[in-house]
Amino acid sequence: MQVRCHGTVPAKFIICPERAKTIYTMILKKEFKYLGAGALICALGLLPMDAVAKKNSKAGDDGVKTTFQTSREWRPTIDNRADAVMVYGVGGNPSDSKRGKQTFEDRVKSWKDRGYTVHFMTGIAWGEYQDYFTGKWDGKWHLDEGQVTQRGDTIWHGHMVPYIVPSENFLKYMKERHVKRVIDAGVDAIFMEEPEFWARAGYSDAFKREWKEYYGTEWRPQHESPEATYLANKLKYHLYYRALDEVFTYAKEYGRSLGRDIKCYVPTHSLVNYSQWQIVSPEASLASLPCVDGYIAQVWTGTSREPNFFNGVQKERVFETAYLEYGSMESMTAPTGRKMFFLTDPIEDRAKDWDDYKRNYQATFVAQLLYPGVADYEIMPWPERIYEGLYRTSADSDEKTRIPRFYSAQMQVMVNALNKMPASKNKVSGTDGIGVLMSNSLMFQRFPLHDGYKDPQLANFYGLALPLVKRGVPVKTVHIENLVFPATLADTKVLLMTYSNMKPLDPEAHRHLAEWVRKGGMLIFCGSDADPFQSVEEWWNTGANSYAAPSQHLFSLMGVPLDAVEGEYKVGKGTLLVMREDPKEHIVNKNGDARFIDAVSRLYALKDKGRRPEFKNNFLLQRGPYTIAAVVDEGVEPDPLVLKGKYIDMFDPALPVRNEVVVAPGTQALLLDMGQLEKPKQPQVLAASFRESDEVAGKRDYSFVAKSPIYTDGVARVLLPSAPSSVLVDGVETLSASAWDADSRTYLLKFENHPDGHRVQFRW
């Protein structure tokens, strides 16, 4: 069972089983309503979760490095050769045509027959659950359990597919009708995606019932006050926390009854995106559940193209936004040892043109690779729409076509690189050690507006992060919920924070922050403390506390005046710098970040022996043989990044070998650096639009099998000891003298791809 109090239990604690019944009784009596997590831990005796985290880290290592999701059966057009496939939905995907659809068991078998590890994915907040809503499951109509707005409108995901208020009855249905069936079908990993409750929802009878059960009071309309908004969103947060806890616990228990170990994962948007899109979700708190083995970071063009402000201009900044989205997911789970897959999508949900998709795919793809500690990937969602969908040939044309051959080849080169992408301890170029504090409560203040206070496009978050990203600083995000883990701030020199857009859910975090500063940390607090959520009824102004704002509690622990004016304060060996402006002012105004950047530079110099941060316009990382580069525009300089060496350009489907690569502002590059090969004398496929297997290397020959989807171009750079005398593809001679590049000792191989595979043999 799970403790739910007015604060939150830090992620490294779980409940002693023998105390569960007593705690549950106390919760029902509301005895914990204003008890902070730290006091709860001391009072009730919680167990450290470090061992659980380590166990899950090992358990999550199931040999699957790459995966993808599809609601379709295997077919040759979508056989992309990842390690695993997540077969979607017992009833498929709501957008699928119902005509001729195979059963779930038939779809699973079709992929297993092709050698895939098969997992299961479905939505926890929406899906093909019409049999539940129309009463076919239990004889009762349940459409009143949809998420409803103030106007009384249900929020729909599709025809007869509402976003769900996850009642206990619905969870019972999910366990019995879906989870049990897929486990019986032989699936050993379950992905429950997108636990989403819209901020504008919260007016249905189902939600009102949950409110009374959770708070013990009558429902309060969230638009009436900041207090009601905050409480409504905390309940939404709890409901999907409970939903995943119950469904995953059932999955694991049922699996154990069959002698099987069922893995459970949560594919979810980033905290940055959910906050910006005004959606509430459990996010980081799920990592405290022993039944959660990991996540998929659902970041793609559709999330990352959401506009934000910088230097007074609101527009799309896809690379920068994606970089911060992936960062918020990586930092959310890093201390817990959970497995993390990063997702990119070669297209997106909105209908655009192929050039738009390609450009933004490259931006998000490079952004994910700049986190070298993550090396597991969902290589694409919905390959059926990528390979078989029709999209515009250009932005100014209504002509539509399937994916162009050049783009499918480039895409497959990129996703096959993910099959080999190593984790690395290398760091992104630039000044490290600067972090931005964030909390799950970022999602609680986004809708509706109160007292005229606005945070346009999440500007109070981006106002701390974007000025640094635009100056080439690999800024990290830090989750306040993870401060209980010593590793969370271990490498942080300067931490940036505000309470203008979020609030601390318990006082424990402040104790860790104050102690970190006393030991030498540099903390910059930016905030006017003028937003209307400062006064919601919470731990800092109830019980023994009477602080007008949560920052006052933090300042009191550091021995700083409660209403500290702008300036620097010495705290032990560290420094607190207070700036009495909301971070949004840094980016919604032209040149609004000058004072802020100077403050960051000064504090960093205090910490790092007088050295100020390095400001540049690029990010560069070496991961094994892969060179990953991005150059930002709107930054400190307009110059391109020039790289010299011997590189294979993996964004060019012709796979040219270049001695110099110029990366212009606003663009990115993925390169294979031939000077970084681990075994430079061994014959090998360096880059390819297919996945090679069954490799055999002799003294005078080298062979492999190449598999990839039908109707796509096979292209590869193959390293050989010397020029080949024969190149056989399925026993047919295809040698071309012009395909050999003597300088790089590589052969450019070309053929028509096929999922059944081609046997390729080189002789020299």
pLDDT computed for residue 97 by the predictor: 64
Q: Which of 6-15, 379-388, 430-439, 553-562 has the lowest mean pLDDT?
A: 6-15
pLDDT tier for residue 96 given thresholds of 50, 70 and 90: confident
Alpha-carbon gap, residue 732 to 409, rounded angstroms:
23
Q: Is the pLDDT of residue 11 over 80?
A: no
Alpha-carbon gap, residue 118 to 112, rounded angstroms:
7
Alpha-carbon gap, residue 602 to 270, rounded angstroms:
31
pLDDT computed for residue 98 by the predictor: 58
Q: Is the pLDDT of residue 23 over 70?
A: no
pLDDT computed for residue 61 by the predictor: 58
pLDDT computed for residue 101 by the predictor: 72
Q: Is the pLDDT of residue 32 over 50?
A: no
Alpha-carbon gap, residue 673 to 659, rounded angstroms:
10
Q: Is the pLDDT of residue 36 over 90?
A: no
pLDDT tier for residue 287 given thresholds of 50, 70 and 90: confident
Q: Is the pLDDT of residue 44 over 50?
A: no
pLDDT computed for residue 49 by the predictor: 34
Q: What is the mean pLDDT of the chain?
A: 91
451 SS3 class: coil
Q: Which of 48-52, 152-156, 266-270, 275-279 has the lowest mean pLDDT?
A: 48-52
Task: Summarize the confidence of residues 633-649 as an average pLDDT.
Answer: 95
pLDDT tier for residue 100 given thresholds of 50, 70 and 90: low
Q: Is the pLDDT of residue 480 over 90?
A: yes
pLDDT computed for residue 339 by the predictor: 95
Q: Is the pLDDT of residue 76 over 90?
A: yes
Q: Is the pLDDT of residue 381 over 50?
A: yes
Q: Is the pLDDT of residue 30 over 50?
A: no
pLDDT in tens, 696-737: 999 999 999 999 999 999 999 999 999 999 999 999 999 999
pLDDT computed for residue 636 by the predictor: 85
Task: Summarize the confidence of residues 231-236 as an average pLDDT.
Answer: 97
pLDDT computed for residue 56 by the predictor: 38
Q: Which two tokens stand for residue 573?
A: 């060996």
Task: Summarize the confidence of residues 563-578 as an average pLDDT.
Answer: 98
Q: How many CB atoms lie within 10 A of CB 759?
A: 13
Q: What are residue 623's DSSP bridge partners? A: 626
Counting every residue, how long is the chain?
A: 764
Contacts of 140-148 with CB under 8 Å at 24 or more apart are 142/169, 142/170, 144/204, 144/205, 144/206, 145/170, 145/204, 145/206, 146/204, 146/206, 147/197, 147/198, 147/201, 147/202, 147/204, 147/207, 148/201, 148/202, 148/203, 148/204, 148/207
